[in-house]
Amino acid sequence: MPDTHPTPTAPGGGLVPAPLSIDGPGRGTVRLGADTALAAGPGTEDTARWLRDALGAAFGLPLPPGSDTTPDTLALAVDPALPPEGYRLAADARWGVRITGGGPAGVFWGAQTLRQLLGPQAFRRAPLAPGRAAVLPEQTIEDGPRFAWRGMLLDVARHFLPKDGVLRTLDLLAAHKLNVLHLHLTDDQGWRIEIRRYPKLTEVGAWRERTKLGHRASPLWDERPHGGYYTQDDLREIVAYAAQRHITVVPEIDIPGHSQAAIAAYPELGNTDVIDTTSLKVWDTWGVNPNVLAPTDTTLRFYEHVLDEVLGLFPSPFVHIGGDECPKDQWRASATARARIAELSLADEDALQSWFIRHFDRWLTDRGRRLIGWDEILEGGLAPGAAVSSWRGYAGGIAAAKSGHDVVMCPEQQVYLDHRQHASPDEPVPIGFVRTLEDVYRFEPVPPELTAEQAAHVLGTQANVWTEVMDSQQRLDYQVFPRLAAFAEVAWSRLPAPAARDYQDFTRRMAAHYTRLDALGVDYRPPGGPLPWQKRPGVLGRPIDGAPPNV
């Protein structure tokens, strides 16, 4: 996409997300050139490597090691007096640039701000004009995030995104100061993680014969087989790449619903006394699937073994186990399930699902991890350490916070980025409610019903990217951007109440940010609507009219 947007002239270079404070822009300029040294204090080594890779490549700068006591230096340091993810960036022509963070992550976020200040060229992989210095205004920026959890869910189960696409996603999250990638690795339509004990999960479960094009009511099919998976070494690389960017990768292994790909690979996991599970294949369409896991000891041991390998790959303190959209019809028809309910003195099938979740909550807790799941896991009660992803609206998150559980707010009506961006019929495969850039900018993660003590349980927020109708990197870019930039500001910046937010100022800063996205090669939705190659005429969606409910 060509660089068609004007070069920014705003103080602070049109930073997104907005920092806490900017002091003194416009006094003069600081130049980073061939003689500029990079002084990296203890704890800043990852950021120093990243700066040499990113700015060194973009401007052709060697950035040799130096001392923070000499002029013309880019100096990095940790000062525990600052908040852990907070930073101070000071640019002065007399000595250069100093980035001080409360911890290594704070230094890295300061480096992301520096990159924005240097203009769109800083986001390219090779210099446009070799030998030209990088220039930024003299100024001091003080900054730090509102929320500790600033995330995006990426669904790689419905449409597989090759490893390089995940690494690119991590770079884009880092550029927006987002620090959690929730990786949705398993579903009815595909199993994407190598489990060495159970090779059929990827030999069989990672591949479907064909794929529904558009909404499940669409008559169209892509008759090509679709699939793929990440080897354990791929995932180690993804996790390490994320860690260098101070991003936590939270894995999701869906149970007890959304499990047909696993049952197709290992039929004994399903309700064999209700259906012929050997006839099941990896699902090729979308929606809520009736084929769920059987509540047997065999199933429990199988997923314990799966999670053993998952824990060895992902150091995240949280492991997401899904827990959503689990129809109970097969359990009601299953003598095995009814016997389990009687054995455990449970009230009904809903309590059986709660037993399922609680089992893995205890299992993870015993291994020093925390369970997090979709808000359905509240039904039947939760163990004290479990956390909730509130997706059906705010209600689940409110109930969880009031009960003392930690919450990540991701209500579908507000921050599901598969939802359409405009009411125009030109929007490609329109799904759900209209959620414009401004709508996302006015999203508020903390409901006013919560007291200060209850609100402290809101760990943060994440935008969810479900890929049923996103079958390529181009479609992913279109749905996610530019709305992820608005979401990032909601998650990072201390904004006023939604109605009082200065959206015009945000759009002014976005004029600068679009040039950065252009330089990164992001195929975002332009402000004026989709370009001809971004449209998908004839592919059926499922638009919902009217304003989304605040539930």
What residues does 37 pair with on adjacent strands? 73
Q: 88 with 61: CB under 8 angstroms?
A: no
In this structure, the strands spanning 190-191 and 186-187 are antiparallel
Classify residue 278 by its DSSP letter.
Answer: G
C-alpha separations of 32 from 75, 115, 282, 479 in Å = 12, 12, 54, 36
User: Sign of the CA dihedral 350, 352, 354, 360?
Assistant: negative
Is-contact 275 330, C-beta < 8 A? yes
DSSP state of 549: P
Q: How far is CA 356 from the centre of its chain?
A: 26
Contact 177, 147 (CB under 8 A): no
Residue 428, Cβ neighbours under 10 Å: how many? 22
Element (H, E) at 471: none
- CB-CB contact of 286 with 468 (8 Å): yes
**Residue 496 near residue 449, CB atoms below 8 Å:** no
Element (H, E) at 372: strand 370-374
Burial 102-128 (b: 16+ CB within 10 A, else e): bbbbbbbbbbbbbbbbbbbbbbbeebe
Does 142 qualify as catalytic in the annotation? Answer: no
The rounded distance, in Å, linking the Cα atoms of 452 and 531 is: 45
What is the CA angle 447-410-320, rounded to 5? Answer: 125
* Packing angle, helices 45-59 and 104-117, rounded to 10: 10
Nearest Cα neighbor of 326 from 363, 387, 375 is 375
Among 258, 320, 405, 513, the active-site one is 258
H-helix or E-strand spanning residue 152: strand 149-155
258 part of the active site: yes
Give yes or no: 427 in active site: no
Q: 369-390 burial by CB neighbour count: b if 16+ within 10 A, else e?
A: bbbbbbbbbbebebeeebbbbb
- Helix locations, 230-296, DSSP H: 232-244, 260-265
Separation in Å, CA 392 to CA 79, 138, 408: 41, 46, 12
- The one catalytic residue in 46, 143, 155, 187 is 187
| Residue tagged active-site, from 45, 171, 237, 325 | 325
> What is the CB neighbour count within 10 angstroms for residue 29?
12
Q: How many CB atoms lie within 10 A of CB 308?
A: 13
**Amino acid, single-letter form, for residue 61:** L
Residues designated as active site: 187, 258, 325
